[in-house]
Amino acid sequence: MANKYPLLRPSEVISALAKKGFVYKSQKGSHAKYSNGHEVAIIPMHDTIARGTLKSILIQANIELEVFLKLLWKKLFYICLFFSNKSPRCPVLDNSGFFTYKKNGVIK
């Protein structure tokens, strides 16, 4: 059974949280604090956010996984539309759980 929580970079998580009103508040070491006025989410600024850590972030932010994934995919969908005018390049999940780009049918 595949894990429903993807491996993401901090910037991808932050951009999705920003759509729910989360803004940067402070940072201590490699952990940044984002808040929407009601909830506070701590984001580790490492290369990759582990699946369990993403689950904890979503609990802190009071966002359901399905809502979060829609926010994330909406951004990637618009990126795909932007690049489709110039070349057939769309974001896809690769085998390791990262979002990568497919160009002319080949993952880059």
Cα separation, 93 vs 72, in Å, equals 12
pTM over 0.85: no
CA distance readout (Å), 98 to 27, 49, 83:
25, 10, 19
What the chain holds in terms of domains, given with CATH numbers, is 10-107 (3.30.920.30)
Distance CA 94, CA 64 (A): 23
Cα torsion 73, 3, 58, 51 to 10°: value is: -110
What are the average pLDDT values for consecutive 10-residue runs of the chain, which has 108 residues?
A: 76 91 95 95 94 95 89 66 54 57 51
